[in-house]
Copies of this chain bind each other. A is one copy, B any other.
Amino acid sequence: MAVTSEPVLAIDVGGTRMKGSVVDAAGRELHGCTRPTPRADGPDAVVEAVVAFAADLTARAGGVAAAGIVVPGIVDEDSGTAVLSANLGWRDLPMRSVLEARLGVPLAFGQDVRAGGLAEVRLGAARGARDALFVPIGTGIGAAVVLDGRPVSGSGFAGEIGHLVVDAGGAACGCGLRGCLETVASAPAVARRYAARTGRATPVPEIAAAAGRGDDPAAVAVWAEAVDALAGVFATCATLLGPEIVVVGGGLAESGALLLDPLRAALDGRLSFQRRPRVVRAALGDRAGALGAGLMARERLQAGVGSAR
């Protein structure tokens, strides 16, 4: 159809940066750029910045047929609502209708991690998989639970893997619980736990490398605890959902085999009859969210205005 051959606009709105793309029908990026997110200026300023960014990208593209915009937090794709996006200061905002009215094109509004999972399943490391988990590990730890080829949303609440408790009575988490996965295995947690043992502020890649060499007991211990916590959570997902593949992304995945090799071994030891998922590194890096937003925009066009996904 003619309409779906026109380019679409995709924006991944993060807590510090917005990544924007204009994507053609073949998935090629015709234009891409980033811009700061004016988080400190309040939630309305973020809305205005997204609208201005979208208008500029649209003008450069000479018009777009649809837009996909994804944000962090609890996002209900079906109603197009930002239920709770702490990084943007948004709460219970009907962003799809607000942005659609401002932009004047059909809009898909979704969550960044689920968009990234959609992109990894369609275009990236999990291409062709039907049941998959996409787990970006960075400042936080999220997951896209992909079942039958689609990320599931749970009205926005699905995939909060970073808040599975792995160490009952452990460190306090920002969510109010104790011992969440994020308190053990996120990048800041690894750095903090290493500093607590050694008194040294050390970049995570150095901790990972030292753990790999085995010559630094503190690094070995902290890294093993992170790996073990992740393996436990992946075993939980394997038991509950039976994914074929787990795609690990985010900053921690940049450690490559230093993370994935022990993670595969630890996961293997925690499963019996369950389907054993392949554990692989993400392929799309920090472009996954915007690529997923582009896919969502394209689907929105194909499905017509009645569906946001």
Contacts and interface: CB of A to CB of B under 8 A. Distances in A.
Contact of A131 (B155, B240, B270, B273): B155
A160 B270 contact: no
Contacts of A274: 157, 160, 163
Label chain A's interface by main secondary structure: loop
A158 interface: yes
A38 interface: no
A255 interface: no
Interface in A263-287: 270, 272-275
B272 A242 contact: no
Contacts of A244: 155
B242 A177 contact: no
A105 interface: no
A177 B175 CA distance: 31
A152 B236 contact: no
Given A131-B155, A157-B274, A176-B272, A240 B242 contact: no
Given A158-B242, A175-B272, 16 more contacts: A143-B240, A147-B152, A152-B152, A152-B241, A153-B242, A154-B242, A154-B243, A157-B238, A157-B275, A163-B272, A163-B274, A164-B239, A165-B270, A175-B273, A176-B272, A176-B273
Interface of A: 74, 84, 130-131, 143, 145, 147-148, 152-161, 163-165, 175-177, 232, 235-244, 270, 272-275
